[in-house]
Chains A and B, each alone.
Chain A
Amino acid sequence: MAWYVARRVMQLIPVFLGATLLIYSLVFLLPGDPIQALGGERGVPPAVADQLRAQYNLDKPFIVQYLLYLQGLFSFDLGVSFSGREISEIIASAFPTTFQLAIMALVIETVLGVGVGLIAGLRKGGIFDATFLIVSLLVIAVPIFVIGFVFQFLFGVQLGWFPPTVGSDVSFYTLMLPAIVLGSVSFAYVMRLTRTTVAENLGADYVRTATAKGLSRRRVVSVHVLRNSMIPVVTFLGVDLGALMGGAVVTEGIFNVPGIGNALYTAIKAQDSPAVVSIVTVLVIVFLIANLLVDLLYAVLDPRIRYA
């Protein structure tokens, strides 16, 4: 097991380097002179511009900039954004909110998704199954921003069950609606995956053996079918986290949540390259770590993997 973990961590390193390099290159290709953009319409006097350039290392060759950046990353010094704020401060203040939002979305989508999927899989072909199959298709087909609008309007404005925007009032209650929206598409995927896996595992040989032992149906389903069906679901959740991050940008925008997605969007609009690079890098790191955790969880669930 220890070697499995070590191997996974070792595989992570080249991916991390490659990804950060890729991000950095993409942003580096931004057109225009970001320094001049800082000055707005009036522009910036050359002397000041030079000074700023030196301050942001923009006068050095690309590779050096990248290495300096990496160095900063490891010492948690993410530099200063063009707007003057410490980027690490921006991220630090925004991250907990997004984290809370993401966890809530994850819990909702997993609990509901697995629950509904289990029932649908057990009664495949029945009314419950057919209904939720259609519901899931609809949820996937309608883009998240439309769902966001509609829910905001319906539950936030019209019915008033939740506040339509979050703003500075961040709490479990205010984040509920955005979390539901954020988790909606993933819920549909989790539900469908669980349904298929459960239906498949119901016909497995070991399930028949378990029944032959004289186990009650409930026990067969919970101990044997469900437990084995969790494996592909866990794998999916790891991959899905990436989609969750993308969706967070949209959702935080609609509900005005002061999280990283919003911060990122603002930074892009302002052509604030240091901020953009840092935020995306942090998100990528989170994604990679989350995937590593998922792989470990997978090894816990499936003993065959531990010795591979």
Chain B
Amino acid sequence: MPETPPTGPSTMSHGDQPRHDQVHFFADEDRVALLEVDVPDETSAPTSLWKDAWNQVKVRPLFWISAVMIVLVILVAIFPYWFTNTEPRQCDLANSYGGPEAGHPFGFDRQGCDIYARTIYGARASVIVGTLTTIGVTLIGSIIGGIAGFYGKWVDSILSRIGDVFFAIPLLLAAIVTMQVIDRNVWTVALVLTVFGWPQIARITRGAVLSVKNSEFVTASQALGLSKPAILAKHVMPNALAPIIVIATVSLGTFIVAEATLSYLGIGLPPTVVSWGGDISNAQAAIRTNAQVLFYPAGALGLTVLSFMMMGDVVRDALDPKARTR
């Protein structure tokens, strides 16, 4: 093993004389000006996380495409009568499987209902269920996850176990079982999906809170005398918001799909409510002969979900902390 030599610059073969290209050199002061140390930049406009994110997002075409689609879907859901005059439930058997004609661009389904009208009115159920569920899941999940992550120890153990219990029953199975029990309408479907869907957001919130919890600004707030709940609400949660927003946006799409799946299985919304899932279910038999009965509601459903997924992607990229280095 080598012995430790004396410290200090070693003297190699050239002794004390530096080589020709290693003599004392210094740059011209004009060429490399010495700046004042640490001068603040007063010229650019102030930005916050949100402004920064907005700046990133507004230049992406994907954002605008998905935003337009989402706005369109919401308008269709709230004001279906802007888009069609036909009543979706006014069906004439005589028109069964009729082709497209004036005023009925998509043709008729098996019952003789106007497909276009049903497609338009079907948006409402999906959007309402999706929105209600997302709001519910985000509120419950973030609060429970935030408390669990921040207070830790017993509180965390109990809340996490409770979350695990609900998480252990796959969403669709739980919904299938529960929907047998209760009245079936938009509110109950949303409720069921909320009750079994919150653990995912809770887990993500808990993770985000855990990583923020040990930041020095949290310790500084404690040293200031802020109470624990105040710290959680004012300092920790706002910093955990970014991942919550991302997952909420994507979840909206997933919940719309979940509702459609339940309606397709016949245990979601009742047949009296116009829904895309139900229409697709009914269209099963006709897929070989009259594919349009399937195509239009499926297409509408797909596009709606797609718009939320794309928006989720864009939002995630904008709020990604790793991309925000200055």
Query: Within 8 Å by CB, do A and B touch in the complex?
Result: yes
A143 near B170 with CB under 8 A, answer no
If over half of B's interface residues share one DSSP class (helix, strand or loop), that class is named, otherwise mixed; here it is helix
B287 near A15 with CB under 8 A, answer no
Partner of A137, one of B165, B172, B313: B313
B309 near A245 with CB under 8 A, answer no
Stretch at the interface among A16-24, A47-55, A71-79: A16-24
In the assembled complex, which residues on chain B have CB atoms less than 8 Å from the CB atom of A157? 288
Partner of A249, one of B164, B167, B172, B306: B172
Complex: A146 Cα to B265 Cα, angstroms: 12
Q: Given the interface contacts A268-B177, A268-B267, does A22 sit within 8 Å of B261 by beta carbon?
A: no
Q: Given the interface contacts A18-B161, A247-B172, A284-B169, does A140 sit within 8 Å of B309 by beta carbon?
A: yes
For the complex, is B98 an interface residue (Cβ under 8 Å from A)? no
Partner of B298, one of A27, A146, A245: A146
Q: Which of B56-85 contact A (CB under 8 A)?
A: none
Partner of B177, one of A15, A23, A287: A23
Complex: A288 Cα to B165 Cα, angstroms: 10
Q: Which of A250-272 contact B (CB under 8 A)?
A: 250, 253, 264-265, 268, 271
B171 near A246 with CB under 8 A, answer yes
Query: How many Å from the CB of B283 to the closest CB on chain A?
Result: 8
For the complex, is B53 an interface residue (Cβ under 8 Å from A)? no
What are 25 pairs between A and B in contact, CB < 8 Å?
A14-B161, A18-B165, A19-B168, A22-B166, A22-B169, A26-B178, A27-B181, A138-B302, A140-B309, A143-B277, A143-B298, A144-B261, A145-B264, A145-B281, A146-B302, A149-B284, A153-B287, A243-B170, A246-B170, A246-B261, A249-B176, A250-B172, A250-B264, A253-B265, A276-B180
Taking Cβ atoms with an 8 Å cutoff, the residues of A that contact B are 11, 14-16, 18-19, 22-23, 26-27, 29-31, 137-138, 140-146, 149, 153, 157, 200, 242-243, 245-247, 249-250, 253, 264-265, 268, 271, 276, 280, 283-284, 287-288
Taking Cβ atoms with an 8 Å cutoff, the residues of B that contact A are 161-162, 164-174, 176-178, 180-181, 253, 257, 260-261, 264-265, 267, 277, 280-281, 284, 287-288, 294, 298, 301-303, 305-306, 309-310, 313, 322
| Additional 20 contacts, C-beta under 8 A, given A145-B260, A145-B261 | A18-B164, A23-B177, A30-B181, A31-B181, A137-B310, A140-B305, A141-B303, A141-B309, A143-B298, A143-B302, A145-B264, A153-B287, A242-B167, A245-B172, A247-B172, A250-B172, A268-B176, A271-B180, A280-B177, A287-B168
5 cross-chain pairs, A with B, having the tightest CB-CB distances, nearest first = A246-B172, A18-B165, A242-B170, A141-B306, A141-B305
